[in-house]
Structure 1
C-alpha cells in the first residue's frame, strides 16, 4: 500500500471512529431517556452512562490530538474494551444480531485505524530505543 492510500485509510477510519465515539459519548452524557433505557436493559445502573460518556469523548479527543502516542495506545485499548464489552452485553441480553455485530464492526474500524497509523502516532519500539542508546542518539519522548 502506498503512503497516500495508507494516509487516506488511516484518516477515514480514525475520523469515523472518533466521530462515533464523540457522538456516542455526548449521547451518553445527555441523559436521554433512550440512553437510560438502554443501560437498564443491559443491566447497568444509570450512572454508568455518564462514566462511559466521559471516557468516550476523551478517547475521541486522544485519537485526533497530535503527539501523545502512549495516550493513543490507551485510547485504542479502551475503545476495544468498550466495543467488545458492548457486543458481549447485547449478546447476553438476548438482543438481535445487529446490536451485537455493530460494535464488532466498529472494532474492525478501530483495528484499521490502529494498524494504519503513521510512525508519528506510534510508540517507539524498545529495540529502536536500545539501538539509539547504543549509538548515542537521544531517545524519543513517549
Structure 2
C-alpha cells in the first residue's frame, strides 16, 4: 500500500504541477497566446483551456474530490494531451512538441492506474 501511495502521489503531483504551470502560462505568456493564434484558435479557447487545466489539476490533487469527478478530470486531460500531440504534428512543430504531451499522457496513465489500485485497497 505504501508503494502505491508513493507512486500515486509522485505522478499525480508531477502531472498536476505541470498542468498548473501550463494553465497559468495560458494567461501570463505572450508566446503561448501567439502560439494559439498560430494554430488558428480563438482567444476564448486559450482562456477556457487554461481554466480547465487549473481546475482539473486541483481536482486530481485535492482528496475531497472522488469518483466520477476525478474520472472526468483524468479523461479530460487524456483527450487534451492526445489532441495537443496531434495538433502539433499537423502544423509541423518539432518532434519535442509532439512527443512531450505523450510523455505526460504516460505520467497521467500511471497516476490513474495507481489511483485505481488505492481505491481497490480501501474497498
Same fold (TM > 0.5) = yes
Query: For 1:101-126, what per-residue CA distance to the aligned partner results, in whole angstroms no more than 9, with x for missing partners?
Result: 00000000000000011218x9x8xx
Rg larger in structure: 1
Q: State the aligned residue count.
A: 119
Deviation at 1:96, TM superposition (A): 0.9
Corresponding position: 1:98 with 2:84 = no
Q: Give structure 2 stretches of 5+ with no counterpart.
A: none
Higher relative contact order, structure no. (Cα contacts within 8 Å, ≥ 6 residues apart): 2
TM-score, normalising length from structure 1?
A: 0.79
Equivalent position SS for 1:43: coil
> 4+ residue stretches of structure 1 with deviation over 4 A?
none
TM-score, normalising length from structure 2?
A: 0.90
Query: For 1:32-76, what per-residue CA distance to the aligned partner results, in whole angstroms no more than 9, with x for missing partners?
Result: 210111102222122211000000000001001114221000000
Corresponding position: 1:63 with 2:60 = yes
**Residue 48 (structure 1) aligned to one of 35, 41, 45:** 45
